[in-house]
């Protein structure tokens, strides 16, 4: 009588699994945006047909309480934004480099955001106003 | 006398890497959960500085006034849709320099949502926004 053949358990090579996992971790670490925005709560305003924009390096933010942040650090007023931005943008020649991302809570009143907008302009920045798109973006 | 290590002893000195994959996947899960691959949407507006804004105002350029929840275009109460129609009719995209300027003057308690929508409409009609604040008006 012919003896029964013993089947070997299939072997899954897992040696490279760690390498792949490390590569994925590096990808997520590179793509993660731990921008110091977490401190502030901002509900972005909504408008129709907003375009997708390239994220600038400079960020000015006003949270729901009306507190102003420059590059994630709280500042006292619009004058501080202007002086801080003037320093940040002093060597920037191109339009792209002078782009300033402006994030402001939808409920903030004019007395707070208008001086900040003027301060960005006076410091030589080009405002990129961030919002949520209601309609179809391009 | 020096004794060469036996094969069994060499095997015992290897760094255990079996749990490395588990740790890597825990880190991976952490990054997947915490990462937000956001897409920034908005508009770019290159506003003229104070002096240009004053000049633009002198030349009777189109003016959008925000007062509370009211929107006025050249002193006429309007809606965002009508504002868009009016600005499109002016064909700002064909104009150059100060011809593109649209003054935005806000008074009273105007929220950023209303302001943003107005700026977005002006921007979509190829207008260049010039902010006129109350302080600037008072100095004139």
Token code pair at residue A68: 């102003």
Domain made up of A46-133: CATH architecture: 2-Layer Sandwich (3.30)
Residue A64 CB: number of other CB atoms within 10 A? Answer: 14
β A126-130/A73-75 pair status: unpaired
Cβ within 8 Å of A, B 96-115: 106, 108-113, 115
Q: What ranges do the domains of chain A cover?
A: 46-133
Per-residue pLDDT tens for B74-84?
888 888 888 88
Q: How confident is the model at residue A105 (pLDDT cuts 50, 70, 90)?
A: very high
* Min distance A44 CA to chain B CA atoms (Å): 8
CA–CA gap between residue B70 and residue B50 (Å, rounded): 25
User: Is residue B49 within 8 angstroms of chain A, CB to CB?
Assistant: yes
Quick check: pTM over 0.80? no
Q: Which residues of chain A make contact with B133, given a CB cutoff of 8 A?
A: 114-115, 118
Per-residue pLDDT tens for A3-45?
666 777 787 777 788 888 888 888 888 777 665 555 668 888 8
Residue A124, pLDDT above cutoff 80: yes
Per the CB < 8 A criterion, the answer to whether A70 and A81 are in contact is yes
Per the CB < 8 A criterion, the answer to whether A113 and B112 are in contact is yes
* Min distance A2 CA to chain B CA atoms (Å): 38
Q: How confident is the model at residue A62 (pLDDT cuts 50, 70, 90)?
A: very high
Per the CB < 8 A criterion, the answer to whether B105 and A88 are in contact is no
Residue the block writes with tokens 């290159």: B46
ipTM of the complex: 0.71
CA–CA gap between residue A87 and residue A95 (Å, rounded): 16
What residues in chain B have per-residue pLDDT under 50?
51-52, 56, 136-140
Mean pLDDT score of chain A, rounded to an integer?
A: 82
Q: What ranges do the domains of chain B cover?
A: 50-139
The confidence score (pLDDT) of residue B139 equals: 38
Q: Which residues of chain B make contact with A50, given a CB cutoff of 8 A?
A: 41-43, 120
Per the CB < 8 A criterion, the answer to whether A92 and A98 are in contact is yes
């Amino acid at each position: 009588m012919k003896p029964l053949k013993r089947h070997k358990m299939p072997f899954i090579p897992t040696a490279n699994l760690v390498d792949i996992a490390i590569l994925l971790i590096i990808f997520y670490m590179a793509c993660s945006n731990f921008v110091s925005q977490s401190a502030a709560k901002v509900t972005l305003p909504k408008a129709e047909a907003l375009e997708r924009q390239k994220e600038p390096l400079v960020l000015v933010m006003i949270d729901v309480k009306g507190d102003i942040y420059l590059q994630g650090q709280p500042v006292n007023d619009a004058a501080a934004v202007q002086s801080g931005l003037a320093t940040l943008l002093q060597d920037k020649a191109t339009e792209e480099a002078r782009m300033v991302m402006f994030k402001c809570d939808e409920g903030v009143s004019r007395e707070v955001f208008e001086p900040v907008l003027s301060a960005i302009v006076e410091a030589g920045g080009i405002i990129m106003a961030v919002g949520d798109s209601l309609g179809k973006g391009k | 006398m020096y004794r060469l290590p036996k094969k069994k002893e060499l095997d015992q000195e290897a760094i255990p890497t079996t749990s490395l994959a588990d740790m890597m996947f825990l880190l991976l899960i952490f990054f997947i959960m915490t990462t937000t691959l956001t897409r920034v949407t908005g508009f770019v507006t290159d506003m003229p500085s104070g002096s240009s804004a004053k000049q633009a105002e002198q030349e009777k350029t189109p003016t959008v006034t925000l007062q509370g929840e009211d929107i006025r275009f050249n002193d006429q109460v309007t809606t965002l849709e009508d504002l868009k129609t009016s600005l499109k009719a002016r064909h700002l995209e064909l104009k150059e320099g100060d011809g593109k300027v649209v003054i935005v003057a806000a008074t009273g308690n105007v929220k950023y949502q209303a302001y943003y929508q107005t700026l977005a409409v002006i921007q979509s009609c190829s207008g260049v926004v010039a902010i006129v604040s109350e302080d600037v008006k008072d100095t004139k």
